[in-house]
Structure 1
Amino acid sequence: MSIFSKRLKEARTAAGLSQERLGIESGIDPASASARMNQYENNKHTPNSLTIIQIAAALDVPPAYFYSVDDEEARMLLLFYRLDSPGKKQILTLAVELHGQTKFPNI
């Protein structure tokens, strides 16, 4: 199972959605929604980037969540994504302090 397939199934299950319902809410044709989501979860096909963005929106997760290999990082992505703007700023400030830098690192 790929990390994408694993995270997709985790997020869908946590949201309490069936494969069909998630597919429909992601903009997939209702006639093929269940089959396509099943193929994605079973690593038989990989959705294109637009479909990934639509699935992420339907699940209220950041698209990057689907690719995080580390479980703690994936959890942080979810928590950060769901914070309001002031909360995100607080977390970024704390992360910079913990990292020991006085300004945001350039990447």
Structure 2
Amino acid sequence: MTSRQNTSDPFPKRLKKARLAAGYTQFALGVAAGIDEYSASPRINQYERGVHSPDKNMAGRLADVLGVPLSYLLEPDENLAEFILLAGRLGSEDLLRLTIYLKEALE
């Protein structure tokens, strides 16, 4: 766990947004991600406030529990983050079609 994140770090805001969208309390998210129940709520609160940041393993577990790509939580560009979130909801065939479409559109 790292202390004092850069204020432009998107992780705290996106973590909270994803948690609320998924209907988790801070406690429930922490426990589901494998944090001890006595520190689950304070740890998630610290992550969401940017006081501490999770290591890569914990960030991945939080993303998995919330059903969002880890890259969504980390991407600094708001539009690209939204695209990542939407693309992450596609099935593999639809994602392939979208990739082909984008490649062709950009040629």
Tell me the TM-score normalised to structure 2 length: 0.88
Which of the numbers 12, 16, 21 marks the counterpart of 2:23?
Answer: 16
SS in 2 for 1:61: coil
List aligned pairs for 1:66-81, cutoff 5 A.
66-81=73-88
Query: What's the CA shift string for 1:63-86, capped at 9, x where partnerless?
Result: 111111222211111111111110
Percent of matched pairs sharing the same residue: 39
The one-letter amino acid paired with 2:69 is: P
* Structure 2 unmatched runs, 5+: 1-6
**Mapping for residues 19-98 of structure 1, pairs under 5 Å:** 19-98=26-105
Aligned ranges 1:94-105 → 2 under 5 Å: 94-100=101-107
Letter in 2 for 1:61: V
Letter in 1 for 2:89: R
5+ long unaligned stretches in structure 1: 101-107
User: What's 1:6 paired with?
Assistant: 13
Structure of higher CA gyration radius = 1
Which consecutive aligned stretches of 4+ in structure 1 deviate over 4 angstroms post-superposition?
Answer: none
**2:54 partner SS:** coil
Question: How many angstroms apart in 1 are the aligned matches of 2:98 and 2:36?
Answer: 39
Aligned length: 100
What value does the CA root-mean-square deviation take over the aligned residues? 1.0
Displacement after TM superposition at 1:32 (Å)? 0.7
**Greater RCO, CA 8 A, separation 6+:** 2
**Length-normalised TM-score, structure 1:** 0.88
